[in-house]
Amino acid sequence: MAWPHRRWLHSPMRVKALPECRALHFDLICVSQDETPLGTLPTDTEILAKQLNLTETDFKRLCALDFGPLHGWRPVRCLDEVRLYHPVVLEMALEALSRKEDNRARNEAANRKKRLQRLRAVMMGYHKELGQNDAAVEWIDEWLVERCTGNRTASWVERAIQAWTARTLGHRLHGKPPRT
């Protein structure tokens, strides 16, 4: 959870709420990070009170304050149930998911680059010109990604090179340029 501390420091909840309500509000934000859907809370005050180690009576008393533990939390329909969400918590969750997706894409791109470099080095050992052919390296990599389920052993690379060669020769025999 990336906490927007500057935003929190200047929020009305932090400035106007009792210290106990601020702490419980923050605890609810933390609890919501393990809920499904992410960033939501159940509407059941008994469950929320238990999650905060309070009696339901004390929880309801604090929630009745202008800046109680549930300040800013709103009902939302989640499929067949109504839950609570907070706009800032939703924003934080969406930002976290976006960062996760960005990291995944960056990691995939880095992994692909390394994989192509390793494949190119192996192919240079078989045939220098083929290892320098970007189209061949990329085609062979795709062929291996589709078919090779384990490690890219020498026999797999050899089979991929044979497939590239057969494909290239087939196109030449039929008078068509190979597609890359």
Interval 171-180: pLDDT, tens: 665 556 555 5
Better-scored residue on pLDDT, 19 or 174? 19
In a domain, 92, yes or no: no
| Total of domains in the chain | 2
Instruction: Give the number of other Cβ atoms within 10 Å of residue 97's Cβ.
Output: 11
pLDDT at 133 over 70: yes
123, 55: one domain: no
77, 40: one domain: yes
Average pLDDT, the chain: 91
pLDDT at 170 over 80: no
9, 74: one domain: yes
Reported as a pLDDT band with limits 50, 70 and 90, residue 93 is: confident
15, 75: one domain: yes
What is the distance between the alpha carbons of residues 58 and 74, in angstroms, rounded to a whole number?
20
9, 80: one domain: yes
pLDDT mean over 33-62 = 95
Reported as a pLDDT band with limits 50, 70 and 90, residue 28 is: very high
In a domain, 97, yes or no: no
Which of 51, 85, 119 is the last residue in one of the domains? 85
In a domain, 35, yes or no: yes
What is the distance between the alpha carbons of residues 46 and 56, in angstroms, rounded to a whole number?
5
pLDDT mean over 104-129 = 93
Helix (H, G, I), strand (E, B) or coil at 133: coil
> Do residues 45 and 59 touch, judged by C-beta distance below 8 A?
yes
Reported as a pLDDT band with limits 50, 70 and 90, residue 169 is: confident
Which of 68, 85, 102 is the last residue in one of the domains? 85
In a domain, 95, yes or no: no
Reported as a pLDDT band with limits 50, 70 and 90, residue 100 is: confident
In a domain, 179, yes or no: no
14, 77: one domain: yes
What is the distance between the alpha carbons of residues 26 and 29, in angstroms, rounded to a whole number?
5
115, 66: one domain: no
Look up the domain containing 167 and give its range: 111-173
Q: What is the pTM assigned to this prediction?
A: 0.60
